[in-house]
Copies of this chain bind each other. A is one copy, B any other.
Amino acid sequence: MPDRIRGLWCATLTPLGAAGEPDHARLAAHVTRLFGAGVDGIALFGTTGEGQSFSMAERRAGLDGVLARGVSAERVIAGTGCAALTETIELTRHAVTAGCAAALVLPPFFFKGISDDGLYASYARLIDRVGDARLKLYLYHIPQVTEVPIAHDVIARLLERYPGVVAGIKDSGGDFQHTRRLLARFGELAILVGHEPHLPTALAEGGAGTICGIANLYPRLMRRFHDRSLGGGYEEDLQRIETFIARLERYPLLAAFKALLADLTADQAWEALRPPLVPLAAAQRRGWIAAVAETGIVAERGTT
């Protein structure tokens, strides 16, 4: 297992088969293509991957399915958080046993307004019950979806009790001031941003990299953007990405991602989502694809 997650990781979209089940072969092919385009690793069944829309059994099988098709477990961080802690424990144990680089774990997200003690108890019980020294736990902060933020004092308590297990944080909150506070307080953790435009600043302030959605679509652009974020000269790519996101924000995020990936790969199967998410309506889809074309980001079309 690598010491820590760093660099450019893609929060992979999950393709669906005809009956609405995760399509392992298409997913593995997508991941292989991403790796070929310079992506360092993937986060499987995160929010972008509609992870919560799949059963525990589907998530287990999905991980097994991509590993069986040659994806290296060391390049996979498995989204294993569930509403029910017992399912989180089982999925996390499975990911550790499979040799995954790490487990990316949402807080239990059904109840709102949970206490710091309750959040701490959730992660502590997870770690205790998995009971495997190989576990590398990444805390998954995405309060605009979960409505359950991960308090910094809880992180500190976990880090004190479980050093070496609590390994990092995916900060998908989209608020860089929040990321900055994490970076300042938790220098020993690998902190990865979800919002692509934050990458240059995050890296400059000690961040480990990004786990992001746009890498599904434009992995080469994201690779270059990441590397130039370290080496200089990223401004033009940042502008491209910001323009893209400004258009994207007018559409349902995951439906727009999947419609665009279907377009870029000429593979209509990518259009499907599992309810409660649904594909874009035809007119909306046309508007979105046209909007993307206008941004000029499509220069990468055919090379993704």
CA of A108 to CA of B145 in the docked complex: distance in angstroms? 13
Tally of A interface residues using CB under 8 Å: 40
Partner of A53, one of B84, B146, B277: B84
Residue contact B86 to A125, C-beta cutoff 8 Å? no
Partner of A121, one of B84, B111, B275: B275
A285 to chain B, nearest CB (A): 14
Interface membership of chain A positions 100-133, coded 1 if the CB is closer than 8 angstroms to chain B and 0 otherwise? 0000000111111011011101100100000000
Q: Which residues of chain B come closer than 8 Å to A112, judged between CB atoms?
A: 144-145, 147
The answer to whether A52 has its CB under 8 Å from any CB of chain B is yes
The answer to whether A70 has its CB under 8 Å from any CB of chain B is no
A237 to chain B, nearest CB (A): 29
The answer to whether A87 has its CB under 8 Å from any CB of chain B is yes
Q: Which residues of chain B come closer than 8 Å to A146, judged between CB atoms?
A: 110
Residue contact A90 to B53, C-beta cutoff 8 Å? no
CA of A90 to CA of B57 in the docked complex: distance in angstroms? 12
The answer to whether A98 has its CB under 8 Å from any CB of chain B is no
> How many copies of this chain does the complex contain?
2
Secondary structure at the A interface, as helix, strand, loop or mixed, is: loop
Q: Which residues of chain B come closer than 8 Å to A119, judged between CB atoms?
A: 275-276
Residue contact A111 to B56, C-beta cutoff 8 Å? no
Q: Which residues of chain B come closer than 8 Å to A148, judged between CB atoms?
A: 276
Residue contact A56 to B87, C-beta cutoff 8 Å? yes
Q: Which residues of chain B come closer than 8 Å to A122, judged between CB atoms?
A: 275-276
The answer to whether A230 has its CB under 8 Å from any CB of chain B is no
A167 to chain B, nearest CB (A): 21
The answer to whether A291 has its CB under 8 Å from any CB of chain B is no
The answer to whether A54 has its CB under 8 Å from any CB of chain B is yes
Q: Which residues of chain B come closer than 8 Å to A57, judged between CB atoms?
A: 86
Identify the interface centre among A57, A111, A114: most chain B CB within 10 Å of its CB.
A111
Residue contact B115 to A278, C-beta cutoff 8 Å? yes
The answer to whether A82 has its CB under 8 Å from any CB of chain B is yes
Q: Which residues of chain B come closer than 8 Å to A68, judged between CB atoms?
A: none
Residue contact A117 to B278, C-beta cutoff 8 Å? yes
The answer to whether A67 has its CB under 8 Å from any CB of chain B is no
Interface residues of A (CB under 8 A from B): 20, 52-58, 82-87, 90, 107-112, 114-115, 117-119, 121-122, 125, 144-148, 252, 274-278
Give the top 9 A-B pairs by smallest Cβ distance, nearest first.
A52-B110, A121-B275, A118-B276, A122-B275, A55-B86, A114-B276, A108-B276, A52-B83, A55-B87
